[in-house]
Structure 1
Amino acid sequence: MAGNSQRRGRSDGAGKKRATAGTGGKNRRSLAGRGATPPAEARPGHPAQRRAAAEQRQRADRARARAKSEEQPELLLGRNPVVEALRARIPATALYVVTGDTHRATDERIAEALALAADRGLPLLEVGKAEFDRMSQGALHQGIGLQVPPYDYAHPDDLVDIARDSGRPPLIVALDGVTDPRNLGAVVRSAAAFDAHGVVVPQRRAVGMTASAWRTSAGAAARIPVARAVNLARALGSYQDAGLMTVGLAGDGDVDLHAFDGFADPVALVVGAEGTGLSRLVRERCDVVVRIPIDRDTESLNVSVAAGIALYQIASLRAAPRPGSSSR
């Protein structure tokens, strides 16, 4: 019957709607905006969010596996690598040789490896081929392997103490994002050749002192300490607090290398990886960024070559007498 409905907004007999009880703003609040829509990766339950979470877990698992592997002895495989490592007197704990290897009696490299290991008093461990295949995880081993212990890294602050005790102005080389162990070994070799007090590498996204880096250093890693920094930018900040000037090396630096006159003072030379260069945070920690003037057609220099050139320049400036000093 008209005008007798119990529905909200019912009309009276004259066809006019009568007032109804309000919602107290509830409907208006429910329609209010809730801000920008978050990206798919941030929406719980979204496929993109699940994929991002899975990738994050995988990265964490790889980081844990890498950290665990670095705590374990490394097995250096192959006749040439083993002989070169023994010649360079890389720290080692044992020499593995496959029993029944037909090349053992005739291969000069295996004979030299056995002689070098015996001279150092390293244990000779003979293993079956199947067992050594398992130990080397299927990698090519040529019947011989050298067990190398994990590298004993120094603390970044230890390098400042070493420099102070040396009686020479501190010179520390910091590497940012270098991932090739051969480049690290070559930089360590140059650092030792030009009287640096140590080398610093980041703990993450950078290579450490593997057996390959040891071998490339040609024994220099036994004469100069390598430190590992949890946060390289923070380590550079502590060097600045200790009175060192942080000098970055990059192709787009502000000053030519040969025109910079601050190398006679305490310095931390910061070198980035070839291609990527210095990371933003590390570059911001540099007091000055210098460049090596090279031919315009050459895009960049290998990181170990660039570090060697800069270290030579530093050594040359430090060897030259300062203006006003006596040459006697």
Structure 2
Amino acid sequence: MSRNKFPPKPRYDPDTGPVYLYGMHTVRAALDNPRREKRNLLVTPNALARLNESGGTGGMSPSTTTPKELDRLLGSDAVHQGVALEVEPVSRFGLADLKAPRLVVVLDQLTDPHNVGAILRTACAFGADAVITTARHSPRETGVMAKSASGALDLVPMIEVRNLGDALQDLKRMGLVVMGFDSEAPAPLRPRTDDMSLAVVMGAEGKGLRQRTRELCDEMVRLDMPGPIKSLNVSNAAAIALFAATAGRRAQ
């Protein structure tokens, strides 16, 4: 009887250890971000050639490694493409840093780093000025989040707030309409025809928006789905929401 073989565990704990970004797009964006504090660049010869073709190493002296070494460092599930970059977590912004924002994505206690990363990527694609998360019940920056964001973690300002209700009221004072998404909302989502500045609020996986968050929204909408599946992953729902929210801007 053969023994079961399990993939080796990563050398570091992504929840408590240093932050390693990996994958070509993710590392490229971090190298190009002047606000990102970088520590150590690990590359295979082939990956180094690709980095040099796309803009170089940002003045860093890379350490040569192998795909197997990166697998041992990051875990066999990490799609690293031959490159890993040890960094300090990205600098977080404050609401006061936003100057006349027109589109902000607000995440009400989302905890899955895959979802947060995917929403960051979508927010970047639709030109969002920032993504707001809560200080509690939000994931730590990890390679998983950064890989899902495909570089957007270094392109879209992330703002971490202690009190989401206060933050929503601040956004209103900045002139944004706060639009929340909830499966029980009375009005269906429709493509907007106006050019209003918007804060699009998405609820946590499974739980949705908290009651206080709902109360502070200027509008509440739902996604109508005629098919047999009546719910979507929150990152997919965010993509649809942002497409509809910005429809009026694209029409102009």
Q: Settle same-fold status: TM greater than 0.5.
A: yes
Q: Which amino acid aligns with 2:233?
A: N
1:243 counterpart = 2:175: yes
Distance 1:218 1:295, change over 3 A: same
Partner of 1:227: 159
Distance 1:320 1:94, change over 3 A: same
Higher gyration radius (CA) = 1
Q: Which amino acid aligns with 2:126?
A: F
More strand by share: 2
TM superposition shift of 1:175: 0.6
Partner of 2:12: none
For 2:222 and 2:162, the matched residues in 1 are separated by 27
Q: 1:95 aligns with which of 28, 37, 41?
A: 41
For 1:197 and 1:188, the matched residues in 2 are separated by 11
For 2:140 and 2:200, the matched residues in 1 are separated by 18
Q: 1:75 aligns with which of 13, 20, 33?
A: 20
Alignment map for 1:168-187 (pairs within 5 Å): 170-187=102-119
Partner of 1:112: 46
Describe the SS at the equivalent of 2:246. Answer: helix
1:153 counterpart = 2:92: yes
Deviation per CA, 1:50-94, whole angstroms, max 9, x where unpaired? xxxxxxxxxxxxxxxxxx95xx74135xxxx45553355465431
More helix by share: 1
For 1:276 and 1:235, the matched residues in 2 are separated by 20
Count of aligned pairs between the two proteins: 223
TM superposition shift of 1:211: 2.9
Q: Which amino acid aligns with 2:62?
A: L
Distance 1:238 1:96, change over 3 A: same
Conservation of the 8 A alpha-carbon contact between 1:148 and 1:211: no
Structure 1: runs of 5+ lacking an equivalent: 1-67, 98-109, 164-169, 322-328
Deviation per CA, 1:131-178, whole angstroms, max 9, x where unpaired? x9xx96x9669998531221101102323x152xxxxxx111101111
TM superposition shift of 1:115: 3.8
TM superposition shift of 1:215: 2.2
Q: TM-score, normalised by structure 2?
A: 0.74
1:316 counterpart = 2:247: yes
Q: TM-score, normalised by structure 1?
A: 0.58
For 1:144 and 1:264, the matched residues in 2 are separated by 41
Partner of 2:61: 123
Q: 2:203 aligns with which of 255, 272, 289?
A: 272
Conservation of the 8 A alpha-carbon contact between 1:82 and 1:146: no
Q: 1:257 aligns with which of 184, 189, 200?
A: 189
Q: Which has the higher contact order (CA 8 A, sep 6+)?
A: 2
1:196 counterpart = 2:134: no
Conservation of the 8 A alpha-carbon contact between 1:260 and 1:290: no
Distance 1:115 1:237, change over 3 A: same
